[in-house]
Amino acid sequence: MCGICGFVGSTVDKPKVIEKMADLITHRGPDDSGYFVDKDVSMGFRRLSIIDLDSGRQPIYNENNNLVLTFNGEIYNYKEIKEQLVSNGHKFYTNTDSEVLIHGFEEWGKDLVKKLRGMFAFAIWDRNNKILFLARDPFGIKPLYWTKVKNNFVYASEIKSILVFPEFEKKFNYKALDNYLSFQYAVPPETFFEGVYCLMPGYTLTYKLGNIEVERYFEPRFEIDESLELETASKKIEETFKNSVDVHRISDVEVGCFLSSGIDSSYVSSYFEGQKAFTVGFDFGEKYNEISWAQNLAKKINVNHYYKVITSKEFWSSIKKVQYYMDQPLADPSCIALYFVSKLASEHVKVVLSGEGADELFGGYTVYNEPRVFKMYQKLLPQNVRTFLSDLVKKIPFRFKGRSFIIRGEHDVEHKYIGNAHMFSESDKKKILKCPEVVTDPLNLCKELYSKAKKYDDVTKMQYLDINMWMVGDILLKADRMSMANSIELRVPFLDREVFKIASKLPTKLKTPKENTKYALRKAAMKRLPESTAKKEKLGFPVPTRVWLRDKKYYGTVKEAFNSETAKKFFNVPEILKLLEDHYLGKWDNSRKVWTVYIFIVWYELYFKEID
């Protein structure tokens, strides 16, 4: 696992610039560095040594040195690709997976990416034709960002490398703030830095003579097979997932895994007999602490279990550090818990496997039950009646049984679902923002995806949206940043093209029947896990933010931030203080909204305060 950065163009003291860019992502690769600089391009690389420890340095070149590669990630089918390339006459000088990319590009050009099984973000410079080629893996496990600075094209694994490029003018992107307040993350390809963009998953970018061409080579399309039965599906899942875990464990260093009480990481951990698993929790009772669950499972599947209880002081004192590594504000508090479990793992291993992607591929989120729950209600009552009832109960100033059902049942999926998090509505954003003219309807960002998914059933539409938005902007972003912040490689065997092939065929009856979510996956997991674990309901990564925000100490910390100059610059302070006060007094659970605003303030003061 590594970090890459570079630029095409000319600037003063190019070697010094590229070294400075690479130094900022040393955490991604503390073992080694490498550079290529000529009159046209500068390429930087930081290495975390995983495969071919002695000879896997980058940049890597082809036989005649006219192609130059820097690469972040792992290619799991590199041995098969290498065999094909060797038979075609290519000469290899390392045993790394990286080298298949340079020879593969020489052999197949941009079609190379269609042959790869793995996680990756890489850059190839064609010295003869003066072409830069960038590519990102199908699901977006590995990050890549780019921008143009005058006549220079600049790219990097993390935005912080781009920020130090000479003449880059750091400007705040108000569009990203509007999206963030709805989704809890900056919706890619936009970032919080004006003019800096995320290369989307499954895309390549070609830069030549000032022209940028972006192409999509992979789209996660569902091909539902309604005839698929549970036994057949679960058997196929079991076979395919075992193969995926096997290839994801390929390494020249020790590999461990994360372990929570849920099925996803537990299923992964069941393949780690005699090896190491890692868990964290909070000292707030079983609801916020999965350690005892994980300990019991670890004994049953015979893994060596390591755990840590995160104290309140540790959590709150790490917020600034975490937001620095994130580059952009992320209002998902589990990213801080992920930082600590990555830190724990890094004390023992260099690579971990985790369960990200299972919910999106196999239908695991509780919210995926809503189409079934609201089906009869929405069939019996027309839209105008449902809207009338929803507007009516929203005006009632207290909670009562059925209130949430009426509100959530007002609209169909396409007119309400924007992903797993929906923080502030359009009207709420207009209340709290100093500049309400930047406010947009968050559903506008979902329309194109819903259009592409119109032939799917409602559950599959939600999955498709989450794979393309939530998973990219939240789940995989925090997984990459928090593991890399601790110089550890995180691999995700669920997000494998072969695993997706079987997941994409599952009918809804095998994903979200009345019994549970991820139905077919749970059936497959029962062959390796205790039934109580395989059937355990989705919990997520619970963090006690709502408890902390009713504690006088942390309430005071947030209140101070809400009265800061940064808060006054962006928000109507009385409105955000009311959100905080109502939560503190127990009137409403505003914890997620309060946290969203607070994290933005913390992040802004890290990255922009010196400009104000």
Q: Which residues form the catalytic set?
A: 5
Q: Determine phi and psi for 498, rounding to 5 degrees.
A: -70, -40
* Amino acid in the structure at residue 259: L
The C-alpha atoms of residue 519 and residue 535 are separated, in whole angstroms, by 9
Q: Which residues contact 335 (CB under 8 A, 6 or more apart)?
A: 322, 326, 478, 481, 482
Q: Which residues contact 523 (CB under 8 A, 6 or more apart)?
A: 230, 231, 233, 234, 237, 534
Six-digit token string for 381: 């009552």
Q: Which of 439, 408, 415, 434 is nearest to 181 (CA)?
A: 439
CA torsion 586-588-589-595 (nearest 10°) is -90
Beta strand extents in 171-272 (DSSP E only): 197-198, 203-208, 211-216, 255-258
Rounded-to-5 percentages of helix, strand, coil across the chain: 45, 15, 35
Q: Which of 219, 154, 156, 162 is closest to 7 using CA atoms?
A: 154
**Residues in CB range of 358: below 8 A, 6 or more apart:** 263, 264, 267, 364, 494, 518, 521
Strand partners, 215: 204
Structure tokens that stand for 138 in this block: 């199908």
> What three-state secondary structure class fits 371?
helix
Neighbouring residues of 373: CB distance < 8 A, sequence distance ≥ 6: 409
Residue 54 CB neighbour total at 10 angstroms: 9
Backbone CA torsion sign across 220, 225, 229, 231: negative
Q: What is the Cα–Cα distance from 99 to 70, expressed in whole angstroms?
A: 10
Burial class from Cβ neighbours inside 10 Å (0-12, 13-18, 19+) for residue 147 reads buried
Whether 384 contacts 486, CB under 8 Å: no
User: Cα separation of 132 and 127, whole Å?
Assistant: 9
Q: Report how far residue 120's alpha carbon sits from residue 98's, in angstroms, rounded to the nearest whole number.
A: 10
CA distances, 135 to each of 129, 233, 545 (Å): 18, 32, 37
